[in-house]
Amino acid sequence: MIEKFVPDIYAQSIYRIDYEKLVKKGIKCVIFDLDNTIVPVDRSAPSRDAVNLMFKIKSLGLKPILMSNSMKKRVEPFRNILEIDSCASSKKPLKKNYKKILSIYKFKNEEVACIGDQLITDIWGANGMGMTSILVNPISKKDKTITLFNRFLEGIIMKRLESKELFKKGAYYD
Ligand SMILES: [Mg+2]
């Protein structure tokens, strides 16, 4: 059970992920979390770096998709500026919207990698779907109120994972 929270890849940020390596592994689609993965929760537009990264990802032949538990109103500006498709109010880690994405874009589970900053939504969701899960550090210390409880649980899970030597904070791997 606890293994479901272990990310396949652990990177400092979205800028430290080896996307070329993902392509070589057969990944065709990269699902990005928004808040604290691409931007801090209190920012309403992506950075120039984020825009450039999406451009790079597309040029590698990967399909980036924004999948956020935030509402459409929050997600829409990023969808427009980053010029990528999106799924708002996605209810991660529930499977429904992951399945919807697979059926719309005709990807197989193993062709998809999911990047996010939370074990309980992003990593658990991706692992449950048999997708490649990639954990990044949250960009800022600030979280949405709704996330605070998840962070509390995440702290407990991380301690458990560390005691079983399944995961160590700051020990990045790919
Ligand atoms: Mg997040």
In whole angstroms, what is the distance from residue 148 CA to residue 133 CA? Answer: 22
The tally of domains found in the chain comes to: 1
Residue with tokens 């990269």: 30
Q: What is the pLDDT of residues 9-44, one digit of tens each?
A: 999 999 999 999 999 999 999 999 999 999 999 999
| CATH number for 155 | 3.40.50.1000
Query: What is the layout of strands, in order, in the sheet containing 29-32?
Result: 9-11, 132-136, 112-116, 29-32, 63-67, 85-87
Q: What is the distance in A from the centroid of ligand 1 to the CA of 119? A: 9
Question: For residue 153, what are the domain limits?
Answer: 2-163
Q: What is the distance in A from the centroid of ligand 1 to the CA of 46? A: 14
Q: What is the pLDDT of residues 47-93, one digit of tens each?
A: 999 999 999 999 999 999 999 999 999 999 999 999 999 999 999 99
Question: Helix 48-59 to helix 72-82 angle, to the nearest 10 degrees?
Answer: 60
Residue 168 lies in a domain: no
Phi/psi region, residue 113 (left: phi>0; alpha: psi -120 to 50; beta: rest), is: beta
Residue 171 lies in a domain: no
Residue 173 lies in a domain: no
In whole angstroms, what is the distance from residue 147 CA to residue 121 CA? Answer: 10
Supply the DSSP symbol for 112: E
Predicted structure pTM score = 0.96
